Structure 1
Amino acid sequence: MQDADIEQVLAIENSVYPHPWSRGNFLDSLASGYEAWVVREPTFKLAGYFLAMPVVDEMHLLNISVRADLQGQGLGRRLLDRVGALARGQGMTSILLEVRPSNQRALAVYERYGYVRIGLRKAYYPATGGAREDAIVMRLCL
C-alpha cells in the first residue's frame, strides 16, 4: 500500500464498516512503517488490503478488508496467507487480532483459518449512538 492507494482504500473502508478508519489512521500507519499491502483485480482496481504491526515476536493484524462485491471469493484468505508469510518471515510466533462480536462473517473466517479466541476487550469499538462494542481477541500460533 502506498499513499496513492489511500483514496481507493478509503472507498472500500467506508463501504464495508459502520465505523471506518480515517484517512489519518491509514497515513499514520504507512508513516510508521507498518506492513501495509493491497490486492488488485487484473484491471488494477483495488480489491482489498491489510495493515499489520510487528510487535516483538507477534504480528498484530490491525485492519483487513475486501471490497463488498468481491467478498466470499477467497481474497480474504489470500490476504491472511500474506500476513502469515510476513509474520513467519520476520520470526514471529503468532498473529493477534481483534474482531467485533457482531461481525459473525469475519469470526467464521478467522476460526476456519485457525485463529482461536483468547480474550475480550470490553468497550473496545465505537458503536451506533455513542455506545461501545466489545472486541474478541483472537490468536493464530505460527
Structure 2
Amino acid sequence: MASGIHRSAPRFAVLALGGLAAIGIAMAGVSQAAAKEYKGNSALIGVVIGPDDKPVPHAVISYQSSSGAFGAHVTHTDSTGHFAIGKLPADSYDLRASAKGLFSDWEKNVSLRKGETKSVTLRLIYSREPLKPQPNKSKPTNQSGPKQ
C-alpha cells in the first residue's frame, strides 16, 4: 500500500494527502450552499466611481439583503470598474464599494422585483482612516480685556 493512501476507500484516498481534498470537499459544500441562495432571476449591475470621477477597476462590492434573509457576500468590479451580480431573488439589497483605502456610502434598500435588473453607481468618498481635525491656526484672542 502506498504511503498516505487508503485503498479501502479510494474516493476519499486523497484526504490523507495533507488535507487539501478535505478543503476542496468543504468548499464544494459551501459552493452548493451558496448556489441554493442564488435562486432568483434578478440582477444588480453597476459601476464604481473614484474621487477623480473615473471607474475603479477591481473594487470590492459588499452586498446583502436589507432584511438579512440573504447573508453578506462579496464580488469585484472588472478591469473597467463595472460589476454584475446575477441570479438574485426578488428582495431589497444593501451595497457598498471599497478600493485603495476608500469606501462608498451604503446604498440601502435597492429593491429588486422578480426578473428585474437594476443599475447602481457607487462613488468612493471615505478614507479608511478617519479624517483628523485640522488645528486652528488663528491665534487665541484675549476676551477678558487688558489687565489692570
Please confirm whether the aligned pair reaches a TM-score higher than 0.5, indicating the same fold. Answer: no
TM, length-normalised to structure 2: 0.23
Q: Bigger relative contact order, structure 1 or 2, given CA contacts below 8 A and separation 6+?
A: 2
TM-score, normalisation: structure 1: 0.24
- Structure number having the greater helix percentage: 1
